[in-house]
Amino acid sequence: MDQDPRCTAERELLEAVSRITMFSTTAPPEEEQNQPKAEISCQVRKENPEKEVLQDSNASLSPNSSMTTKELQEYWRNEKSQCRQVKLLFEIPSTRIVEHHLSKYVTYKIIILQTGSFDSNKSVIERRYSDFEKLHRNLLEDFSEEMEDVTFPKKALTGNFTEEIINERKLAFKDYLRLLYSMKYIRRSKKFIDFLTKPELQEAYGCLRGGQYTKALEILLEVIGLQERLTRGNPVSIVPTLCAIVVCHKDLENPASAFEYGEKALSRLRVHNSHRYYIPLLEAMIALAYELGKDFLSLQEKLEEWKAKKDPVRVFSLKELAVREYVQ
């Protein structure tokens, strides 16, 4: 009996669909199975390098689509260098006129806070015109080329205490600090950091030497947050301040807090065991650990290891080192 042509066509169609399904679900050849995923990903990137550059840039501007890969890379490099994200913000919301027996001057209240999020640890300092003027002179000594286009508000012969002049300087000093901070080598310089922290540190160490540990600790805790933000590339530089905080807490009979800040200081000296604070800090931490009932054997081992390598020399105590800081 002859088969119905429609049945034959339907059967052939079903067989074809079955073959296609089997082909699509069959495992890839052995070579493809053994090929590392990273290599496959690399091949995809090589096939379309322009797309990779565009995806990796994360920039808001779109370059000309006819650019070559090299031109695209140079374009994004320039864009990123010009759009550096500022991490600290300087505000000068108010001023006050200070009068002494033989002098009269204006102080500018400077608020320093981190951008990008709510900053509950903002720093507040006061500086006068002569402080800004000294900073400018000091920076010109080391950064004359960088400071070439930086303008500084000149002192007027008269009218320095008028509301108009004071408001003009508020805005000028705000822009001045913002511009200085935008230049990497200046914002990392000791002279710029000293301008923002040294007066408060000098006051704190003066209180410490006078036995006013509560007042010294209050100032040091204010300053340390700002120091940490300004010296992220040089964490060892804040070790003296951390150790002064340890001394204050210890003399105020807060051993737990003293130990906490001592650990922070030690973590910054992990690869700097020749630092002048290293051994005095280790000795203080051993005493604190013993008082708190903590394990001090690892600290003791570090101390003995250092003594075995170094010639025996007189080492100051942590407090003796602290009271010597900022002595004029």
105, 110, 95: which is closest to 163 by C-alpha?
95
Instruction: Spell out the domain ranges in the chain.
Output: 83-188, 199-327
The predicted-structure confidence for 92-111, as pLDDT tens digits, reads as follows 999 999 998 888 999 999 99
Q: What percentage of residues in the chain have a pLDDT greater than 90?
A: 58
Is pLDDT above 50 for 54? no
* Residue 119 pLDDT: 59
Residue 220 clears pLDDT 90, i.e. is over it: yes
pLDDT at residue 75 is higher than 80: no
Q: Is 214 left (phi over 0), alpha (psi -120 to 50) or beta?
A: alpha
Q: What is the CA radius of gyration of the chain?
A: 33
**What average pLDDT score do residues 54-75 get?**
50
Average pLDDT over residues 215-239: 94
pLDDT at 161 over 90: no
Q: For residue 35, what pLDDT is reported?
A: 42
- Residue 234 pLDDT > 60: yes
Q: In whole angstroms, what is the distance from residue 159 CA to residue 295 CA?
A: 65
Higher pLDDT, 44 or 185: 185
pLDDT at 15: 57
> Does 130 have pLDDT greater than 90?
yes
Which pLDDT score is estimated for 191?
96
**Structure confidence at residue 73 as a pLDDT band (50, 70, 90):** low
CATH number of 199-327: 1.25.40.10
Distances in Å between the Cα of 181 and the Cα atoms of 31, 85, 87, 136, 158 are: 56, 11, 9, 13, 31
pLDDT at 72: 62
C-alpha distances out from residue 92 to 76, 108, 165, Å = 35, 7, 14
Fold of 83-188: PX Domain (3.30.1520)
3-state DSSP of the chain: CCCCHHHHHHHHHHHHHHHHHHHHHCCCCHHHHHCCHHHHHHHHHHHCHHHHHHHHHCCCCCCCCCCCHHHHHHHHHHHHHHCCCCCEEEEEEEEEEEECCCCEEEEEEEEEEECCCCCCCCEEEEEEHHHHHHHHHHHHHHCCCCCCCCCCCCCCCCCCCCHHHHHHHHHHHHHHHHHHHCCHHHHCCHHHHHHHHHHHHHHHHHHHHCCCHHHHHHHHHHHHHHHHHHCCCCHHHHHHHHHHHHHHHHHCCCHHHHHHHHHHHHHHCCCCCCCCCHHHHHHHHHHHHHHHCCCCHHHHHHHHHHHHHCCCCCCCCHHHHHHCCCCC
Mean pLDDT of the chain: 80
- Region of 293 (left: φ > 0; alpha: ψ -120 to 50; beta: rest) is left
Sequence-separated contacts (24+) of 37-44 with Cβ below 8 Å: none
Q: Is the pTM of this model over 0.85?
A: no
Is residue 293 pLDDT above 50, yes or no?
yes
Percent of all residues in the chain with a pLDDT value above 70, rounded to a whole number: 70
Q: How confident is the model at residue 49 (pLDDT cuts 50, 70, 90)?
A: very low
pLDDT at 65 over 60: no
User: What confidence tier does 171 reach under pLDDT thresholds 50, 70, 90?
Assistant: very high
pLDDT of 186-214, one tens digit each? 999 999 999 999 999 999 999 999 999 99
